[in-house]
A and B are shown apart, each in its own frame.
Chain A
Amino acid sequence: MSQPVAPVRHILIEGNKSYHNITEDLCTPTEKAPSREWIIAFSIASALLGLYIFAIIWTVWKGIGSWNLNRTINWGWDITNFVWWIGIGHAGTLISAILLLFRQRWRTGVNRAAEAMTIFAVICAGQFPIFHMGRVWLAFFIFPFPNTRGPLWVNFNSPLLWDVFAISTYFSVSLLFWYTGLVPDLATVRDRASGLRRKMYEIFSFGWTGSAKHWQRHEALSLVLAGISTPLVLSVHTIVSFDFATSVVPGWHTTIFPPYFVAGAIFSGFAMVQTLMVITRKVLKLEQYITINHIESMNKVIVLTGTIVGVAYLTELFISWYSGYIYEQFAFYNRVFGIYWWSYFGMMFCNVVSPQLFWSRKIRRSIWWTFFLSIIVNIGMWFERFVIIATTLARDFLPSSWSYYSPTWVEISIFAGTIGLFFVLYMIFTRVAPVVAIAEIKAILKVAGDQYIGPNASQGHAHKQDEATKKEA
Chain B
Amino acid sequence: MHHDNGIWVSTEDLMREDSFLQSAEKELSLENVDQNGDRWETNRRDFLKLLGFGLGAATIAASCEIPVKKAIPYVTKPDDIVPGVANYFASTIVNGGDYCAVLVKTREGRPIKIEGNTLSSVTKGGTSARAQASVLSLYDNRRIQHAGTVKDGAVTKKEWNVLDREVRAKLASGGNVRVITNTIISPTAKKALAEFTAKYPGARVVTYDPVSNAAMLAANEQCFSARVIPNFRFEQADVIASFGADFLGTWISPVEYARGYAENRRFRGAKGAKMSRHYQVESHMSLTGSNADNRILIKPSEQGAAIIALYNELSGNSGGPKLGDAKAAAAIKKMAQDLMNAKGKSLVVSGSNNVMEQIYVNKINDLLGNINTTVDFNGVSYQRQGDEREMMRLVDEMNAGQVAVAIVWGANPAYELPNAARFAEAFGKVGMRISFSGVLDETTALCTHAAPANHALESWGDAEPKSGHFSLIQPTIAPLFATRQAEHTLLEWAESPNLNRSAEQPYYEYLKSNWETDLFGRQTKYATKQAFWDMSLHDGVLEMPESGLNAVMNEVSLNPDSVTKPSGSELEIAFYETVNIGGGQYAHNPWLQEMPDPVTRTVWGNYLNIPVEWDGVNHINGWKGLNDGDNVEVEINGKKMTCTVVRTFGLAPGTVAIALGGGRTSGGCGAGYGVNINDWLPVTGGMVQYHAAGVSVSGKVGVDKHFACVQYHHTMGVQASGDEEGKVINADEKTLGWKGFQGALTDRSVIFHAHVDELEKFAEEMEEFHEESAHLNVQTLYPDQSDYFGTGMKWGMHVDMNACVGCGACQVACVSENNVPMVGKGEVHRHHEMTWLRIDRYFYGDFENPKVVYQPMMCQHCDNAPCENVCPVAATNHSMEGINQMAYNRCIGTRYCANNCPYKVRRFNWLDYTTADTWPANEERVLHAEGDDMPFYADNLVRMVLNPDVTIRSRGVIEKCSFCIQRIQEGKLTAKRENREIMDNDIRTACQTACPTGAIVFGNLNNPDSEVSKMTKQAGAVAYKVLEEINVRPAVNYSAKITNSNEELYS
A133 partner, pick from B831, B892, B900, B954, beta carbons under 8 A = B892
* Known A154-B873, A330-B744, A399-B745: A393·B899 in contact at CB below 8 Å: yes
Q: Give the distance in Å from the alpha carbon of A133 to the alpha carbon of B903 in the complex.
A: 22
Contact A135 B908 (CB under 8 A): no
Shortest C-beta distance, B811 to chain A (Å), equals: 14
Q: Does B109 contact A (CB under 8 A)?
A: no
Q: Which residues in B have their C-beta under 8 angstroms from that of A243? A: 896
Interface flags for A119-139 (1: CB within 8 Å of B; 0: not) read 000000000010011111011
Q: Which residues in A have their C-beta under 8 angstroms from that of B911? A: 62-63, 65
Q: Which residues in A have their C-beta under 8 angstroms from that of B869? A: 155, 157-158, 246
Q: Does A249 contact B (CB under 8 A)?
A: yes
Interface flags for A60-100 (1: CB within 8 Å of B; 0: not) read 01111101111110110000000000000000000000000
Q: Which residues in B have their C-beta under 8 angstroms from that of A134? A: 891-895, 908-909, 955-958
Stretch of B330-338, B378-386, B731-739 contacting A (4+ beta carbons < 8 Å): B731-739
Shortest C-beta distance, B732 to chain A (Å), equals: 8
Contact A398 B866 (CB under 8 A): no
Q: Which residues in A have their C-beta under 8 angstroms from that of B893? A: 64, 133-135
Q: Does B1032 contact A (CB under 8 A)?
A: yes
Q: Which residues in B have their C-beta under 8 angstroms from that of A248? A: 866, 900, 902, 1030, 1032
Contact A141 B902 (CB under 8 A): no
Q: Give the distance in Å from the alpha carbon of A357 to the alpha carbon of B994 in the complex.
A: 66
Q: Give the distance in Å from the alpha carbon of A218 to the alpha carbon of B903 in the complex.
A: 55
Contact A398 B904 (CB under 8 A): yes
Contact A159 B898 (CB under 8 A): no
Interface positions, chain B 723-758, Cβ under 8 Å from A, are: 732, 734-735, 737-738, 741, 743-745, 747-748, 750
Q: Does B520 contact A (CB under 8 A)?
A: no
Q: Does A397 contact B (CB under 8 A)?
A: yes
Contact B903 A398 (CB under 8 A): yes
Q: Give the distance in Å from the alpha carbon of A398 to the alpha carbon of B908 in the complex.
A: 18
Q: Does A333 contact B (CB under 8 A)?
A: yes
Q: How many A-B residue pairs have CB under 8 A?
A: 198
Contact A395 B734 (CB under 8 A): yes
**How many residues on chain A are close to B (CB under 8 Å)?**
59
Max count, chain B CB within 10 A of own CB: residue among A135, A141, A152, A339:
A135
Q: Does B912 contact A (CB under 8 A)?
A: yes
Contact A158 B872 (CB under 8 A): yes
B904 partner, pick from A155, A157, A158, A396, beta carbons under 8 A = A396
Q: Give the distance in Å from the alpha carbon of A393 to the alpha carbon of B900 in the complex.
A: 9
Interface flags for A435-467 (1: CB within 8 Å of B; 0: not) read 000000000000000000000000000000000
Shortest C-beta distance, B58 to chain A (Å), equals: 25
Q: Which residues in A have their C-beta under 8 angstroms from that of B906? A: 71
Q: Give the distance in Å from the alpha carbon of A456 to the alpha carbon of B903 in the complex.
A: 76
Summarize B's interface: helix, strand, loop or mixed: loop
Q: Which residues in A have their C-beta under 8 angstroms from that of B954? A: 135
A142 partner, pick from B734, B873, B909, beta carbons under 8 A = B873
Q: Which residues in A have their C-beta under 8 angstroms from that of B912? A: 63
* Known A157-B869, A398-B857: A141·B922 in contact at CB below 8 Å: no
Q: Which residues in A have their C-beta under 8 angstroms from that of B842? A: 399-400
Q: Give the distance in Å from the alpha carbon of A399 to the alpha carbon of B843 in the complex.
A: 11
Q: Does A372 contact B (CB under 8 A)?
A: no
Q: Which residues in A have their C-beta under 8 angstroms from that of B872? A: 141-142, 154-155, 158, 160-161, 164
Contact B957 A135 (CB under 8 A): yes
Q: Does A356 contact B (CB under 8 A)?
A: no
Least CB separation from A161: chain B residue: B872
Stretch of B125-133, B537-545, B710-718, B1042-1050 contacting A (4+ beta carbons < 8 Å): B710-718
Q: Which residues in A have their C-beta under 8 angstroms from that of B830? A: 68, 70
Contact B957 A400 (CB under 8 A): no
B737 partner, pick from A62, A132, A338, beta carbons under 8 A = A338
Shortest C-beta distance, B597 to chain A (Å), equals: 15
Max count, chain A CB within 10 A of own CB: residue among B711, B871, B904:
B904
Max count, chain A CB within 10 A of own CB: residue among B750, B833, B896:
B896
Contact A152 B741 (CB under 8 A): no
Shortest C-beta distance, A336 to chain B (Å), equals: 8
* Known A63-B922, A132-B894: A247·B831 in contact at CB below 8 Å: no
Contact B902 A135 (CB under 8 A): no
Contact B890 A141 (CB under 8 A): yes
Contact A74 B741 (CB under 8 A): no
Q: Give the distance in Å from the alpha carbon of A352 to the alpha carbon of B43 in the complex.
A: 77
A330 partner, pick from B735, B922, B925, beta carbons under 8 A = B735
Q: Which residues in A have their C-beta under 8 angstroms from that of B922? A: 61-63, 65
Q: Give the distance in Å from the alpha carbon of A333 to the alpha carbon of B738 in the complex.
A: 10
26 intermolecular pairs with C-beta atoms under 8 Å apart: A65-B832, A65-B910, A67-B910, A69-B895, A71-B831, A71-B832, A75-B895, A132-B894, A133-B956, A134-B909, A142-B892, A155-B869, A160-B894, A160-B896, A247-B866, A248-B866, A248-B900, A333-B735, A334-B737, A341-B737, A395-B734, A397-B903, A398-B750, A399-B750, A403-B712, A404-B712
Interface residues of B (CB under 8 A from A): 711-713, 715-716, 732, 734-735, 737-738, 741, 743-745, 747-748, 750, 827, 830-833, 838, 840-842, 855, 857, 866, 869-874, 890-896, 898-900, 902-904, 906-912, 919, 921-922, 924-925, 954-958, 1026-1027, 1030, 1032
7 closest Cβ contacts across the A-B interface?
A134-B893, A134-B956, A337-B737, A65-B910, A70-B831, A74-B895, A400-B840
